[in-house]
Structure 1
């Protein structure tokens, strides 16, 4: 008997700048890579903060993951669960799998905070008087991380030689640099991201992610 199809949550509407960046995309991509069908339950800004959803995600965010009474929140935790329970995102050798897993955590804890900080300056604080003074510091933090990552990747196609969950998460984080254009200064990283995004599983996940958005913003209560 096959396992019940998992259900993930995603937003039914986000501003244009957020399309392609909401973290349900990470989970969709992982599920596509391992060939696992899934259902999506769409939520809005009100329902995501309601008690029913907070039972699944205490911080009122997406995505969440449900399967046969089992629930998870946080995209990294969901990705690791998928990778550990399905073939396709981690090597069979335990040491090689651990090496791949370290990149999931590196993407989320070493690279993403810098990328998010710059996005905060460029998008959410764009009209603030301190933006011009703060932005160079934010840019340099991103550059420092990209320098380190570029050096470590070298001329390899993927971080550990073959595509793993670590590459999936790192690619999702690097996509957050698109607005800044900084990745173009690191040709091997630019090519690496293009290689990851060219994967059919990513293309299917992105298409599904974008197709679920309503075009009309919700009416404020």
Structure 2
């Protein structure tokens, strides 16, 4: 059985924001059996020697599939998709399309959004307002391209929902507290459509339960 290592106790501002939710969402979509190993972030459990042995950068998520260890959220969700034979096409070209959009989500789209989220959380320091303006300009470039990509499409990589959608939508969640998506109706509708999936709602509920907070506290 797969063991998913993710956040247990965290600071309040981190609730529902961990990249472990990407992996749990993929597991909930595929129906693969798994157990969740909750790590106490506040107590420093991610810095323990035991966790360092399976997570080189002391981050989440990590999965242990009966001795097969996979770290990094993009690699984890792709592993889950491959193992389940779901959330990724069976044909080579379709698979490459999904992998391409996984990379796009993590290396192109998420970078400025993560910076905006950090600044909005008060971690910007001197010159934060100016840097935010630059990051928003970059984000809008990528949003405009995503808007064009979604013309006549329901999902980003192919006709069905895939792990590329999980990665892209969870990246977009980093600016979910802003109105940055509003000028892009297709992208905004895509974002809402993905977050309305039952597997995502289960993921939010499970996060709330292990965190001991109301579901409304998980954005």
TM over 0.5, shorter chain:
yes
Equivalent of residue 77 in structure 2, options 79, 88, 101: 79
Which position in structure 2 is the counterpart of 1:141?
A: 138
Number of equivalenced pairs: 210
Per-residue displacement from partner, 1:48-79 (whole Å, max 9, x unpaired)? 10110000101111111011111111111111
Q: Hey, what's the Cα distance between the residues in 2 that align with 1:194 and 1:47?
A: 34
- CA–CA distance in structure 2, aligned partners of residues 100 and 133 of structure 1: 35
- Consecutive unaligned residues of structure 1, counting only runs of 5 or more, are 216-221
Q: Distance in 2 between matches of 1:16 and 1:190?
A: 27
Equivalent pair of 1:7/1:67 in contact (CA under 8 Å): yes
Residues 57-68 of structure 1 correspond to what in structure 2 (within 5 A)?
57-68=55-66
Instruction: Say if 1:155 and 1:188, in contact at 8 Å, map to a contact too.
Output: no
Q: Partner of 1:17 in structure 2? A: 13
User: How far apart in 1 are the matches of 2:25 and 2:193?
Assistant: 14
DSSP 3-state at the match of 1:142: helix
How far apart are the structure 1 equivalents of 2:104 and 2:130?
28
CA RMSD of aligned residues (A): 1.4
Mapped pair 1:55 → 2:53? yes
Equivalent in the alignment of 2:151: 154
Q: Write out per-residue CA displacement over residues 172-207 of structure 1, whole angstroms, 9 at most, x where no aligned residue.
A: 111111122201111111110111111111111121
TM-score after normalising by structure 1 = 0.90
TM-score (norm 2): 0.90
In structure 1, distance between residues paired with 2:112 and 2:126: 21
Q: Does 1:33 align with 2:32?
A: no
